Amino acid sequence: MSLLAGKIGIVFGVANKRSIAWAIAQAWHEAGAMLAFTYQGERLRENVEELASTFGADTLILPCDVTRDEEIERVFAVAGEKFGKLHLLLHSVAFAPRAALEGRFLDTSREAFRVAHDVSAYSLVALSRHAVPWMTEGGSIVAMTYYGAKKVVPHYNVMGVAKAALEASTRYLAYDLGPQKIRVNCISAGPVNTLAARGISGFGEMLKHYEAHAPLKRNVLPDELGATGAFLASDGAAAITGQVLYVDCGYQIMGM
């Protein structure tokens, strides 16, 4: 079933094979989309080249630190030139300085707050603005978020505030881009053991907590996030925009 046949997409946020971005990219690829990839910096280039080249030796792979306007501009100039159009964009990027995820939210420095919001929220606005001129046939923009945007998750701290900005940005972008048939949605994933999650102290306990308390009594699988990403990219979701979809085994509905 080639739900995304003829669609062209660009994926931001693959670091390694465990990345949520990689799970969604695989689902988009399996549904027939043609994809380009970006990587944050030299450190990740080889990883991304190795993964992305499994989709064909000519897969477009470009560097993009989302805090650098000139790198964003180049990505869309090169991808636009190569494909002439674009339908899908995945934003799967987040960062806050480690110290901000350890102590109290109260102690968040101005700089940590700025960086977290620049990388994790503003980047969706910047990437969308550069993508839109190429989304001449309509499009689907998908961003990854987490429940810490809505409720206090101890130590998620400034990332929760940045995810709240990301979710609100999704709604404002959906309003601006609706007339051009471009949809903008977030997937709010339950915890997944990725590079960004590893090293978070207590992450193992968090996985167990979800298993115990989510209605489905388990954690979400990367493939399931891929399937939701493919749905949101597809015409099945043609009337869905500005939403946050919880893909968390039902955890978010619980009051206790």
**Residues contributing to the site for ligand 0WE (CB under 6 A):** 94-96, 98, 101, 146, 153, 155-156, 159, 191, 196-197, 200, 206
Clarify whether 122 is annotated catalytic. Answer: no
Our CA angle for 27, 78, 130, nearest 5°, is 75
Stretch that binds ligand NAD, among 53-61, 130-138, 191-199, 229-237 (CB under 6 A): 191-199
Q: Please tell me what DSSP assigns to residue 163.
A: H
Stretch that binds ligand NAD, among 49-57, 91-99, 124-132, 175-183 (CB under 6 A): 91-99
Distance CA 256, CA 250 (A): 13
Determine contact, residues 23/225, Cβ cutoff 8 Å. yes
Q: Which residue has the tokens 């992305």?
A: 52
Distance CA 85, CA 136 (A): 7
Q: Which does 19 bind (CB under 5 to 8 A by kind): ligand 0WE, ligand NAD, none?
A: ligand NAD
The binder of ligand NAD chosen from 9, 29, 40, 249 (CB under 6 A): 40
Q: Please tell me what DSSP assigns to residue 98.
A: G
Q: Which does 15 bind (CB under 5 to 8 A by kind): ligand 0WE, ligand NAD, none?
A: ligand NAD
By CB under 6 A, the residues from 100 to 159 that bind ligand NAD are 119, 144-146
Query: How many DSSP H helices and E strands does the chain contain?
Result: 8, 7
Determine contact, residues 76/131, Cβ cutoff 8 Å. yes
**Annotated active-site positions, please?**
146, 156
The residues binding ligand NAD (CB under 6 A) are: 13-15, 19-21, 40, 44, 64-67, 92-95, 119, 144-146, 189, 191-192, 194-197
